[in-house]
Every structure is written in C-alpha cells, then in structure tokens.
C-alpha cells in the first residue's frame, strides 16, 4: 500500500475558492495517500479507521499548496551586474539593449557556458526557490537564439527536475531577441521555427513563448511561431505589453494562450479579450521594479473582467534578478495593489493555470500532495513580511 500520512491541526489555505479568498479551513487535516491528497477536512472528522496512520501535528501552522513560480529564466550563463550600474546612472532597458547589452549579452554568455556549468548554476537558483516552499518552476529557453544553445538550455531545464524534488515545466522562447547578425524575419523562419521543431521532437517543450515588443518581435512575427506551436499541438504564452502596447495581449488571446506576462501596458480591451480566452495575466513586479517602470498593470480591469492573475519572479540576470517568490508576492501587493489573498492565489491556483496544470495549486482530494507548511498565524503574513522565510516544511509528492 502507498505511504500514508495525516497532517493534523493545520490552518489550511486551500485557495480553492473562486471568491478571491484563501478558502481557509481552521483546525484542518489532510490525508496524504502516496503522492496524492486523499482527503481534506476538520481534524475532528478524521475517519477513526485511519487510527494507525502516521501523523504530523501542524500545531496551528498554515498549510498551503506548494508555491509555483510560473515565469523564470533560471537557466542562463553570466551576469549583468554592470547593467544595474548603468541603470542607476539613467540608462533605460531599451538603451542598454540597443547598445548591445541586455538579452543578447546573456546570449553570448549562455552560448559559451557548458551544460554542466549551466546546470550547477541553475541548481543553486532552484535550491533557493525550493527553500521558500516552491514546488513547480517554469523555465524558459531564449538565451541561445541558435538551435544548439536553445536545446542545451532546455535539456538543462529537464535535468533540474531529475536532480531536485521539484516539477519543471519548460517553455521554448526562441523568439526572445533578435541575434546580432540577423534580421528578425529571417531569424524567425530559419532559426527559431526549426529549433522549435527540433526541441519538440526531443520532448523538451511544454509550451511556446515569445517576446512581443519594439525591441524584439512584432505580432505578425510572433504569430508565425504560434502557428507552428498550434501545428505541434503545443500551448502558447507571451511576454506582452511590457514596455508599450503593440497588440501582444490580444494576439495571445486570439491563440487561446495560457498566459500573457508582464502586461503593464495592457488596457481594458486587452483584459476583455484575455478573459474571453481564459488567458492568465502573469504579473512580474521584479522587472517593473528593476527597470524603474512607472506604468502598472491594469489590475482593476483584470478584476472587473475576471482575468485570473498570477505572480512570478521572472528570475533572469537582467530585468529581474529576483530570487524570491515570496518577495514577488510582497511587491505585487505593494507595487500593483494586489490583496495578499490574490498574491497567494497568484503563486498557487492561478500560477498552475498559467502553466496548464490541473493537478496542483489547490489543497483538495485528488491533487498532488505538494504542500507547504508555514510558521505564520495569518496567511496575509506570507505577503506582508519581506526578507522573511517562514517555511517550516515542504512536502513534494507526499514526502518531506
Ligand atoms: O521577462 N522581457 C523579456 N524577457 C525577460 C528579460 C530577460 C533579460 O533581460 O535578460 C523578461 O523580463
Ligand atoms: Fe521573462
């Protein structure tokens, strides 16, 4: 029989409510049955037939699903600390990109870094997310911009999931930046799309992403990549309306994207289109903060139209060197006006949805037994405090 474990006397934030709340259950209990949740209820209602099952007394601590970081670039070579210094003296993200810095400088470093080194560096980042109760991490390619390096990045991403107790979801982000020696159209047709086909045939791609922006690709170019994704039956997502509104969010909605990410410059019409398509708005306050942005995402419109909002680190060496999902939650509240309940739903239920996952993100029977136990009395503390990690225990596939 599969291993069984009862967690008792927990304050459970199941985040299964659709009303924007935590779905709180006081003095709750969870039966873990193998790698799944078998039962959730009040501690007093535990079936007496479970008398012999091993128990962990949570002593009133908060139990949530594991956190899900649904947008990262944690596989990359090099660092971009110099750009941080340039921004402090007034250079913008676009200035730096046009001067040959930005994404393409990480491309050079990633091409030059061997697979083993990329993996060991990515594992350090993974470990710090795991230490904060993260159990699912989305990892993008996009610092290769050639076939070999895009595949290398995705292989490293898959290797993280074999090396650590964490679930890795990959996104092919070939359409991230235009390489120095090519024009955007020929790059899409002769490098990006063939690399996507090759990565897919190796089983390396869970979703297809792109960067729709003045300094990257326009909507027509991204549409060609999305057409290929559709042919391969892969879901899509998009970096959209980060620095300007050029129709990325609407394009994402037209293709039924899982998510449109950043979306600071999205408007009410974009929100309506995203709601119609079931596209999640992934908010990335780390990039907003790092780039000294002032335009905040249309959170009110997302609420009004019922667009689910997720929150992620966007951990990358340039625009968001943010290694803490808990801090991203705090920033989403303070900078974007999310409630702490929205921030928690944004790193659990809605983050799962942004990745197309339906077996995690809520505490409910049948879901994966991927849970986090926190030494806090009120779930709002997870977002309110920063520089504080209250994680007490983490269960992944039912095991600590
Ligand atoms: O999500 N916006 C585009 N892509 C990344 C930036 C990556 C980088 O600056 O290296 C992002 O912010
Ligand atoms: Fe990103």
Lowest mean pLDDT among 52-56, 96-100, 315-319: 96-100
14: CA distance to ligand 2 center in Å? 28
Q: How far apart are CA 48 and CA 68, in angstroms?
A: 34
4-65+362-395 folds as Urease, subunit C; domain 1 (2.30.40)
Domain edges within the chain:
4-65+362-395, 67-354
Q: How far apart are CA 320 and CA 251, in angstroms?
A: 25
- The ligand 1 atom nearest the CA atom of 320: 12
Q: Does residue 221 line the site of ligand 1, with CB under 6 A? A: no
- What DSSP character marks residue 205? -
The predicted pLDDT at position 19 comes to 55
Q: Which of 24, 72, 20, 67 is nearest to 309 (CA)?
A: 20
| CA dist 167 → 69, 72, 300, 359 (Å) | 10, 13, 32, 12
State the number of CA atoms in the 13 A half-sphere of 147 facing the CB.
12
The predicted pLDDT at position 192 comes to 98
The predicted pLDDT at position 354 comes to 98
According to DSSP, the β-strands at 24-33 and 36-42 are: antiparallel
The predicted pLDDT at position 231 comes to 98
Q: Could you report the per-residue pLDDT of 121-151, keeping only the tens digit for each?
A: 999 999 999 999 999 999 999 999 999 999 9
Q: What is the pTM assigned to this prediction?
A: 0.97
Ligand nearest to the CA of 106: 1
Q: Does residue 290 line the site of ligand 1, with CB under 6 A? A: no
Q: How far apart are CA 260 and CA 295, in angstroms?
A: 16
Beta strands (DSSP E) in the chain are 4-13, 24-33, 36-42, 54-57, 62-65, 67-69, 134-140, 167-175, 207-212, 237-240, 259-262, 280-283, 309-311, 371-374, 391-395
318: CA distance to ligand 1 center in Å? 7
- What DSSP character marks residue 66? P
- The ligand 1 atom nearest the CA atom of 314: 1
List of residues 6+ apart from 3 with CB closer than 8 A = 32, 34, 398, 399
**Burial label, 124 (beta-carbon count in 10 A; 0-12, 13-18, 19+):** exposed
The residue whose CB lies within 8 Å of the most ligand 1 atoms, and thus the one to mutate among 316, 317, 328, is 316
The predicted pLDDT at position 21 comes to 81
CB 349 within 8 A of CB 23: no
According to DSSP, the β-strands at 24-33 and 4-13 are: antiparallel
Q: Does residue 75 line the site of ligand 1, with CB under 6 A? A: no
Q: How far apart are CA 177 and CA 174, in angstroms?
A: 8
Ligand nearest to the CA of 71: 2
Q: Does residue 330 line the site of ligand 1, with CB under 6 A? A: no
The predicted pLDDT at position 15 comes to 77
Q: Which of 348, 329, 397 is nearest to 368 (CA)?
A: 397
Q: Could you report the per-residue pLDDT of 361-390, keeping only the tens digit for each?
A: 999 999 999 999 999 999 999 999 999 999
319: CA distance to ligand 1 center in Å? 6
List of residues 6+ apart from 372 with CB closer than 8 A = 63, 64, 65, 66, 67, 133, 135, 391, 393, 394, 395
Q: Could you report the per-residue pLDDT of 326-340, keeping only the tens digit for each?
A: 999 999 999 999 999
- The ligand 1 atom nearest the CA atom of 80: 10
The b-or-e profile of 62-71 (16+ CB within 10 A means b, else e) is bbbbbbbbbb
Predicted confidence (pLDDT) at residue 305 exceeds the cutoff of 90: yes
Sign of the dihedral defined by the CA atoms of residues 165, 331, 246, 84, in that order: negative
317: CA distance to ligand 2 center in Å? 10
Q: Could you report the per-residue pLDDT of 46-97, keeping only the tens digit for each?
A: 999 999 999 999 999 999 999 999 999 999 999 999 999 999 999 998 889 8
Which tokens go with 330?
Answer: 């705090």
Predicted confidence (pLDDT) at residue 187 exceeds the cutoff of 60: yes
Give 225's strand partners: none
- The ligand 1 atom nearest the CA atom of 287: 12
Which tokens go with 272?
Answer: 């309506």
Q: How far apart are CA 145 and CA 76, in angstroms?
A: 12
Q: Could you report the per-residue pLDDT of 336-360, keeping only the tens digit for each?
A: 999 999 999 999 999 999 999 999 9
**CATH placement of domain 67-354:** 3.20.20.140
The predicted pLDDT at position 350 comes to 97
The predicted pLDDT at position 23 comes to 86
Give first-to-last CA distance, the chain, whole Å.
Answer: 19
Mean pLDDT along residues 261-290: 98
277: CA distance to ligand 2 center in Å? 21
The predicted pLDDT at position 293 comes to 96
Q: Whose CA is nearest to atom 6 of ligand 1?
A: 319
The predicted pLDDT at position 1 comes to 59
Q: Could you report the per-residue pLDDT of 210-238, keeping only the tens digit for each?
A: 999 999 999 999 999 999 999 999 999 99
Average pLDDT, the chain: 96
183: CA distance to ligand 2 center in Å? 22
Domain 4-65+362-395 shares a fold with domain 67-354 = no
Q: Does residue 348 line the site of ligand 1, with CB under 6 A? A: no
List of residues 6+ apart from 255 with CB closer than 8 A = 223, 226, 229, 230, 236
- The ligand 1 atom nearest the CA atom of 239: 2
Predicted confidence (pLDDT) at residue 18 exceeds the cutoff of 60: no
């Amino acid at each position: 029989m599969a291993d069984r474990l009862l967690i008792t006397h927990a304050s459970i934030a199941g985040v299964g409510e659709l009303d924007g709340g935590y779905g709180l259950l006081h003095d709750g209990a969870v039966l873990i049955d193998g790698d799944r949740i078998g039962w959730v209820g009040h501690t007093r209602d535990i079936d007496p037939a479970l008398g012999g099952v091993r128990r962990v007394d949570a002593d009133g601590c908060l139990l949530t699903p594991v956190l899900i970081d649904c947008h990262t670039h944690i596989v990359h070579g090099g660092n971009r600390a110099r750009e941080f210094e340039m921004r402090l003296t007034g250079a913008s993200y676009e200035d730096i990109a046009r001067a040959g810095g930005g994404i393409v400088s990480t491309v050079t470093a990633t091409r030059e870094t061997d697979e083993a080194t990329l993996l060991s560096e990515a594992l350090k980042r993974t470990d710090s997310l795991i230490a904060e109760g993260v159990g699912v991490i989305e990892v993008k390619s996009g610092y290769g911009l050639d076939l070999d390096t895009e595949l290398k990045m995705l292989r490293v991403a898959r290797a993280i999931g074999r090396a650590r107790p964490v679930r890795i979801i990959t996104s092919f982000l070939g359409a991230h930046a235009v390489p120095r020696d090519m024009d955007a159209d020929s790059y899409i047709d002769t490098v990006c799309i063939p690399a996507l086909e090759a990565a897919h045939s190796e089983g390396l791609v869970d979703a297809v992403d792109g960067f729709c922006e003045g300094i990257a690709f326009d909507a027509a170019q991204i549409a060609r990549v999305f057409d290929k994704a559709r042919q391969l039956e892969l879901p899509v997502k998009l970096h959209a309306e980060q620095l300007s509104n050029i129709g990325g969010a609407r394009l994402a909605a037209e293709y039924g994207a899982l998510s449109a990410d950043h979306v600071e410059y999205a408007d009410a019409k974009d929100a309506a289109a995203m709601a119609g398509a079931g596209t999640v708005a992934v908010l990335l306050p780390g990039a907003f903060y790092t780039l000294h942005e002032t335009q905040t995402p249309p959170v009110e419109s997302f609420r009004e139209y019922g667009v689910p909002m997720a929150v992620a680190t966007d951990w990358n060496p340039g625009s968001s060197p943010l290694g803490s999902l808990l801090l991203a939650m705090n920033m989403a509240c303070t900078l974007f006006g999310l409630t702490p309940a929205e921030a928690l739903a944004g790193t659990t239920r809605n983050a799962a949805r942004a990745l197309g996952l339906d077996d995690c993100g809520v505490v409910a029977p049948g879901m994966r037994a991927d849970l986090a136990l926190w030494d806090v009395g009120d779930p709002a503390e997870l977002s309110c405090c920063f520089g504080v990690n209250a994680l007490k225990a983490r269960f992944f596939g039912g095991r600590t």
